[in-house]
């Protein structure tokens, strides 16, 4: 049995520690010490390609997306093979949410 600690044979302990130090000293040094690259500060860049949309068209689209007609559009989405009704509605809803975010963004970007 391997006894370690205060009841370990002192000669065995010395041999074990000497062997451990010998094995450790045989390890080659690391080839290259990795140094992290300095972090670059990212500045907020100007938004390019802002679409020119009339405020009336934006408002009309937002009114539609926030009305019950948007729900009717989700329910009227055609079923596709291997798609559940829930998934089809969800895909339409995601597209509407993207449009909604685009609409709000387009209202504030030209300012």
Closest Cα to residue 70, out of 98, 45, 51?
98
Q: Which SS3 state, helix, strand or coil, does residue 21 take? A: helix
Per-residue pLDDT band for 54 (boundaries 50, 70, 90) equals: confident
88 or 54, higher pLDDT: 88
Q: pLDDT tens digit string along 61-110?
A: 889 999 999 999 999 999 999 999 999 999 999 999 998 888 888 877 76
Question: Quick one: pLDDT at residue 110?
Answer: 66
Closest Cα to residue 63, out of 96, 30, 35?
96
Tokens of 47: 């938004």
Place of tokens 């907020």: 44
Q: pLDDT tens digit string along 28-38?
A: 877 888 899 99
């Amino acid at each position: 049995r391997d006894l370690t600690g205060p009841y370990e044979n002192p000669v065995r302990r010395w041999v074990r520690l000497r062997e451990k130090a010998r094995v450790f000293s045989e390890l080659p040094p690391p080839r290259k010490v990795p140094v992290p690259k300095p972090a670059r500060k990212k500045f907020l860049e100007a938004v390019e390609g802002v679409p020119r949309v009339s405020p009336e068209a934006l408002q009309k689209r937002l009114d539609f997306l926030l009305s019950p007609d948007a729900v009717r559009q989700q329910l009227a989405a055609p079923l596709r093979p291997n798609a559940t009704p829930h998934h089809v509605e969800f895909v339409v809803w995601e597209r509407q949410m993207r449009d909604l975010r685009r609409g709000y963004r387009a209202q504030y970007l030209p300012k």
